[in-house]
Amino acid sequence: MLHRSSPGAVGSRPIVLIGPMAVGKSAIGQQLAQQLGVPFIDTDAVIVAGHGSIAGIFAGRGENAFREIEARTVADAVEEAEGTSTVISLGGGAVLDSGTQQLISRCTVVYLECDADTVADRIARNSGRPLLAGDAMGRWTAMFATRRPVYERLADITLDVRHGSISELGGRLEAALRNHAAAKQEVEK
């Protein structure tokens, strides 16, 4: 019998978290991985470990260089996670890359959905996100408007994260993943 938190029940594909900056991809991803007892990869953390701070990469080499590093890092993470339910949290702009879009179609993609009010305080405290320098809320809102259709199109599961603590949202996401895996199994029978 499967334990309640056994990773088997959420399927055997990598679980990829997408969504706008500060929605909680890194925090909820880590929480979910802990609940499931599976590895966690935060692609931004991998980039920082290999190349220094994200602000430093943007300032020294530009956004295009960051996006190239990011696409390679995501590809390596998905490859490493293949055949497992490893949780992978992406940066908010990673899914704009068409190669990344193709790669994550082999994963269970979770879109964390929120509104500007949810992230306003977090963004006001923000320091390390170069794309939010200056008018952080204005920039966040403009980017969300253009990226939102991409997040919606790529999502297998959409989780509303406007209310709830990180651990509550981890619990809700685990339940949504179990439902999704069960529904897929039913279709494949």
Ligand X SMILES: O=C(O)C1=C[C@@H](OP(=O)(O)O)[C@@H](O)[C@H](O)C1
Ligand Y SMILES: Nc1ncnc2c1ncn2[C@@H]1O[C@H](COP(=O)(O)OP(=O)(O)O)[C@@H](O)[C@H]1O
User: What are the residues binding Mg ion (CB under 5 A)?
Assistant: 25-26
Stretch that binds ligand Y, among 15-23, 58-66, 68-76, 148-156 (CB under 6 A): 15-23
Question: Which residue's Cβ lies closest to ligand X?
Answer: 91
**CA-based angle 110:113:114, to the nearest 5?**
155
Q: Using CB under 6 A, which residues numbered 28 to 47 contact ligand X?
A: 44
Q: Which of 16, 23, 41, 94 binds ligand Y (CB under 6 A)?
A: 23
- Strand ranges inside the chain, DSSP E: 15-18, 40-42, 87-89, 108-113, 157-160
- Residue 131 Cβ vs ligand X, minimum distance, rounded to whole Å: 5
In sequence order, which residues have a C-beta less than 8 Å from that of residue 171 and are 6 or more positions away?
A: 35
Query: Residue 113's beta-bridge partner residues?
Result: 160
**Among positions 93, 112, 123, 144, the unique one binding ligand X when judged by CB under 6 A:** 93
Q: Which of 35, 32, 2, 36 is nearest to 17 (CA)?
A: 32
Q: Is 24 annotated as a binding residue?
A: yes
Single residue of 14, 129, 155, 181 touching ligand X by CB under 6 A:
129
User: How many secondary structure helices (H) and strands (E) does the chain include?
Assistant: 8, 5
Among 15, 16, 27, 136, binds ligand Y (CB under 6 A): 27
131 contacts ligand X (rule: CB under 6 A): yes
* Least distance (Å) between residue 87 CB and ligand X: 14
Q: Which residue has the tokens 């909680």?
A: 24
Give every CB contact of residue 36 below 8 A, 6+ residues apart in sequence. Answer: 5, 6, 7, 10, 85, 87, 174
Does position 136 interact with ligand Y (CB under 6 A)? The reply is no
Binding positions for Mg(2+):
26
Q: Which residue positions form the known binding site for substrate?
A: 44, 67, 92, 147
